[in-house]
Amino acid sequence: MFEDTISQVGRVAAQAGAKVVEAYFADLASAGITDKTSDAKSEGLVTAADVEAEKAIVDAIRSTFPNHSFLAEEAYSQSISAEHLWVIDPLDGTNNFAHGIPHFAVSVAYYHDGIAQYGIVIDVARGHVYECGRGLGAWVDGKRAHVNQHDALRQTMVGVGFYYDRGEMMQATLNSVGQLFEEDIYGIRRFGTAALDLIHVGLGRFGAFFEYTLSPWDFAAGRLFVEEAGGTVTTCLGDDLPLDRSSVLATNGPLHQAMLKIVSQYKPADSQVD
């Protein structure tokens, strides 16, 4: 189903990154964990696994496509308007990884002229591989994935993410969570790995997921997975999702307007929601 050169290279690259991450997780003492909360480029923790996995992914892609561009979390910030652009998160869920929690992922997406064409997310600890291609559907371990058919919030589980901001943005998120509970949803889940949260929407486990600030490498592959599984992805204000830092709302489709009514009410003072 994914036999073109782009998908073959993307798969090999993601698997190369996953091998690096897996090896470091088996020996966390060697992972060189650093706190980057004061870094202007990045927030939270970074590890040797992040850096080396990113290099392994980029090297694997460049061996076939030496002239392609890259947007990645650690070391690459080439133009998002490039004709051929790979968007990479070598280790999504670094904080989970660094604390020994086996819930993190490698995410690789390919964009052509600004449009997502292929994505792969590997759940490293569990070994599951999630792939999607524009017009080809979303697949998990060779089986087709579909969003759920819930049409009322009271029927569904909702995923949520928290940005590193501990002020207005966190309060906005908590306000939205409170209102969702007033809608009698089944529950809230916060797993700390946005790529896999989006996969959960595509698999029908969540009816919706939202976060007020994500970077493009966090959602580039997962966004296409949700859409190819039949779902809807926008900003938390209902606008088209840019390939830039943004708020993200992903749903099964039928729940999108109900979710927007809640999450669009809260806009943090720093205006980083869209």
- Which tens digits make up the pLDDT trace of 129-166? 999 999 999 999 889 999 999 999 999 999 999 877 67
* Percent share of the chain, pLDDT over 90: 78
Stretch 177-182: mean pLDDT: 93
153-263, which class in CATH?
Answer: alpha beta
Q: What is the pLDDT of residue 41?
A: 40
- Which tens digits make up the pLDDT trace of 5-60? 999 999 999 999 999 999 999 988 777 677 654 343 445 667 899 999 999 999 99
Tokens, residue 212: 């007020």
Q: How many residues does the chain have?
A: 274
Q: Report the C-alpha gap between 121 and 109 in whole angstroms.
A: 9
Q: What is the pLDDT of residue 43?
A: 56
Q: What is the pLDDT of residue 35?
A: 62
Looking at 1.10.3720.10, 3.40.50.300, 3.30.540.10, 3.90.1150.10, the CATH number of the domain 5-144 comes to 3.30.540.10
- Which tens digits make up the pLDDT trace of 182-209? 999 999 999 999 999 999 999 999 999 9
- Residue 217 sits at the vertex; the CA angle it makes with 205 and 163, to the nearest 5 degrees, is 70
CA 15 from centroid of its chain's CA atoms? 17
Residues 6+ apart with CB under 8 A from 74: 42, 46, 50, 51, 54, 90
Domains 5-144 and 153-263 share a fold: no
Q: Report the C-alpha gap between 101 and 103 in whole angstroms.
A: 6
> Measured between alpha carbons, how far is residue 252 from residues 121, 194, 215, 226 in Å?
19, 16, 22, 8
Q: Report the C-alpha gap between 262 and 60 in whole angstroms.
A: 42
Stretch 57-82: mean pLDDT: 88
Tokens, residue 223: 């966004």
Domain positions in the chain? 5-144, 153-263
